[in-house]
């Protein structure tokens, strides 16, 4: 329908992820800037009234108003889409608003969703409580039991939603198997690719239809901004999602888009370096006498080690969880006390629930990210009071080990 398109960057067709991460976007402006420009403008001046009419009617692709069109945001969208191997992308104000946009764009009253029960806590609230208000019903199923997903399919199932690996247990789902179930059911599969990013995992290669991102995490990579995105086909993004964005305005700010755009340039080397440190730290934690169990997909002890290695470019990612050993007689109270002791003995790690930062973060899931659950729900989810999650950054590995050993040696 639109024959006048915004031009592409003149890159060769076959360039690879690391090149796309640095080069994909929009052609340089008339001023020849080498680093991408930050277009902080709410609206765009139209050459004449007839052009304005054509552009507002979608007959010509052009920038109109930054609620739904902005060059800096478009550069980030094109770069992320290229890295995910997707046709198109739409930036959003946060990871959660990406999932909100997904729901508003693709679901209606009477539709049914199947969602992993191990996804991000706010995602569970959005599907289970907010979308339910509008007549969209969600069945929550096991992250790892493909049969449970298959049995949950109904005639009105429109969407399957997964996240892999999950927080904090790093459970991996088989994306290819879920894509097949979705296809057979005539539904779409959306995968939250926050923990791996396209540097390690490209769900579209395994048949996923839509990729969700919290740009807040590894895409920014330095803990500066809140941002989100959905990648998918041009048909879905342009016809189902852009119109909702235009009406509803969960817009990504150009400044935040610019920060993420520049973050994407170093995503690949950060993910590699942070994964390497995480693997070494996880292997070391497994050797510590006061550590009961380590959860990390890069370890052979992880129940889905092989699937994770195949799906995630041979990398485990940068999130490691572990349980501090406590005598059973001490119960949950002692387990929590010991975990708090290890966390409070650190001097380098940041005590914060965020992740995806160059600064290593440490958190106690049972009292923070999963604090709103009852103890029963928490145990069903496998999150015990002795558990600690570390999102490994770029500090020196020896310093990180020493930081954790301080508490582990004295529990
Ligand atoms: C943080 C996170 C989100 C939400 O992203 P925000 O940018 O904080 O809104 C969604 N999914 C996963 C897996 C996350 O870690």
Q: For 141-152, how does the pLDDT look when each residue is reduced to its tens digit (9 = 90+)?
A: 999 999 999 999
Using the Cα atoms of residue 201, residue 204, residue 205 and residue 206 in order, give the sign of their dihedral.
Answer: positive
* Closest-lying ligand 1 atom to the alpha carbon of residue 194: 13
pLDDT at 4: 82
Question: Which CA distances in Å does 21 have to 74, 196, 219, 266, 274?
Answer: 14, 15, 11, 8, 18
Tell me, using a 6 A CB cutoff, whether residue 164 lines ligand 1.
no
C-alpha 95 to ligand 1 mean position (Å):
5
C-alpha 361 to ligand 1 mean position (Å):
15
C-alpha 214 to ligand 1 mean position (Å):
5
Residue with CA nearest ligand 1 atom 4: 95
Q: For 256-285, how does the pLDDT look when each residue is reduced to its tens digit (9 = 90+)?
A: 999 999 999 999 999 999 999 999 999 999
CATH of region 17-264, choose from 3.40.605.10, 3.30.160.100, 3.40.640.10, 1.10.3720.10? 3.40.640.10
Count of CB atoms situated within 10 Å of the CB of 71: 20
Q: Terminal CA-to-CA distance of the chain, rounded, Å? A: 66
Residue from 93, 103, 122, 363 whose mutation best tests the ligand 1 pocket (most atoms within 8 A of CB): 122
Residue 345 pLDDT more than 90? Answer: yes
pLDDT at 59: 92
Contacts of 377 (CB under 8 A, 6+ apart): none
Give the tokens for residue 355. Answer: 């992740």
C-alpha 410 to ligand 1 mean position (Å):
34
Would you report the helix, strand and coil content of the chain in percent, each value rounded to 5?
40, 15, 45
Question: Among residues 172, 168, 217, which one has the least CA distance to residue 389?
Answer: 168
Question: Among residues 382, 348, 387, which one has the least CA distance to residue 367?
Answer: 387
Tell me, using a 6 A CB cutoff, whether residue 63 lines ligand 1.
no
Lowest mean pLDDT segment, chosen from 277-281, 377-381, 394-398: 377-381
Q: For 150-190, how does the pLDDT look when each residue is reduced to its tens digit (9 = 90+)?
A: 999 999 999 999 999 999 999 999 999 999 999 999 999 99
Name the average pLDDT for the chain: 96
Longest CA–CA span in the chain (Å) reads 78
Strand locations in 250-380, DSSP E? 291-295, 319-324, 350-351, 361-363
Tell me, using a 6 A CB cutoff, whether residue 217 lines ligand 1.
yes
pLDDT at 3: 64
Contacts of 177 (CB under 8 A, 6+ apart): 146, 149
C-alpha 122 to ligand 1 mean position (Å):
8
Instruction: Give dist(CA 409, CA 312) in Å, integer.
Output: 33
Residue with CA nearest ligand 1 atom 11: 120
Instruction: Report the phi/psi class of residue 387: left, alpha or beta, with left for phi > 0 and alpha for psi in -120 to 50.
Output: beta
Question: Which CA distances in Å does 242 have to 71, 105, 160, 231, 245?
Answer: 15, 9, 21, 12, 5
C-alpha 228 to ligand 1 mean position (Å):
8
What are φ and ψ of residue 136, in 5° steps? Answer: -105, 120
Contacts of 353 (CB under 8 A, 6+ apart): 361, 363, 368, 369
> If you average pLDDT over residues 329-337, what whole number do you get?
94
Domain boundaries, the chain: 17-264, 269-408
Tell me, using a 6 A CB cutoff, whether residue 192 lines ligand 1.
yes
Cβ atoms of 224 and 357 within 8 Å: the answer is no
CATH of region 269-408, choose from 1.10.760.10, 2.40.37.10, 3.20.20.10, 3.90.1150.10? 3.90.1150.10
Tell me, using a 6 A CB cutoff, whether residue 77 lines ligand 1.
no
Residue 133 pLDDT more than 70? Answer: yes
Residue with CA nearest ligand 1 atom 12: 120
Give the tokens for residue 382. Answer: 């496998």
Could you tell me the pLDDT band of residue 382, with boundaries at 50, 70 and 90? confident
- Edge to edge, the sheet with strand 88-92 lists 88-92, 228-232, 210-214, 188-192, 157-163, 112-116, 137-141
Instruction: Give dist(CA 153, CA 148) in Å, integer.
Output: 9
Strand locations in 252-351, DSSP E? 291-295, 319-324, 350-351
Q: Pairing mode, if any, of strands 387-391 and 319-324?
A: antiparallel
Cis, peptide link before residue 255, omega less than 30° from 0 = no
C-alpha 170 to ligand 1 mean position (Å):
15
* Closest-lying ligand 1 atom to the alpha carbon of residue 163: 13
Q: What is the pTM of this model?
A: 0.96
């Amino acid at each position: 329908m639109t024959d006048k398109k915004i031009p592409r960057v003149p890159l060769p067709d076959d360039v690879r992820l690391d090149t796309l991460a640095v080069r994909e976007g929009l052609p340089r402006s008339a001023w020849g800037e080498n680093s991408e420009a930050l277009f902080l403008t709410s609206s765009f001046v139209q050459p004449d009234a007839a052009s304005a009419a054509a552009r507002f009617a979608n007959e010509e692709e052009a920038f109109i108003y930054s609620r739904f069109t902005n060059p800096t945001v478009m550069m980030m969208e094109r770069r992320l889409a290229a890295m995910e191997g997707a046709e198109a992308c739409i930036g959003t104000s946060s990871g959660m608003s990406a999932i909100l946009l997904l729901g508003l764009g693709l679901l209606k009253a009477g539709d049914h969703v199947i969602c992993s029960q191990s996804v991000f806590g706010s995602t569970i609230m959005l599907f289970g409580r907010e979308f339910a208000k509008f007549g969209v019903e969600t069945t929550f199923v096991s992250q790892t039991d493909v049969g449970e997903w298959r049995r949950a399919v109904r005639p009105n199932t429109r969407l399957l939603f997964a996240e892999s690996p999950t927080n904090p247990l790093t459970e991996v789902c088989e994306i290819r198997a879920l894509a097949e179930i979705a296809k057979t059911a005539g539904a779409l599969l959306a995968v939250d690719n926050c923990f791996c990013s396209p540097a390690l995992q490209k769900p579209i290669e395994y048949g996923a239809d839509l990729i969700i991102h919290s740009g807040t995490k590894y895409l920014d990579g330095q803990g500066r901004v809140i941002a989100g995105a959905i990648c998918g086909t041009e048909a879905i993004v342009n016809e189902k999602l852009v119109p909702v964005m235009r009406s509803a305005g969960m817009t990504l700010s150009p400044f935040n888009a610019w920060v993420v755009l520049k973050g994407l340039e170093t995503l690949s080397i950060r993910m590699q370096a942070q994964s390497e440190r995480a693997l070494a730290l996880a292997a070391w934690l497994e050797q510590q006498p006061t550590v009961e169990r380590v959860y990390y997909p890069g370890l052979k002890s992880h129940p889905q080690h092989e699937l994770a290695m195949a799906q995630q470019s041979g990398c485990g990612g940068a999130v490691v969880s572990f349980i501090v050993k406590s005598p059973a007689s001490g119960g949950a109270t002692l387990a929590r006390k010991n975990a708090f002791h290890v966390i409070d003995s650190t001097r380098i790690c940041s005590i914060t629930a965020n992740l995806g930062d160059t600064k290593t973060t440490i958190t106690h899931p049972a009292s923070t990210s999963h604090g709103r659950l009852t103890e029963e729900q928490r145990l069903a989810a496998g999150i015990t009071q002795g558990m600690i999650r570390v999102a490994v950054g770029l500090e020196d590995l020896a310093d990180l080990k020493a930081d954790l050993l301080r508490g582990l040696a004295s529990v």
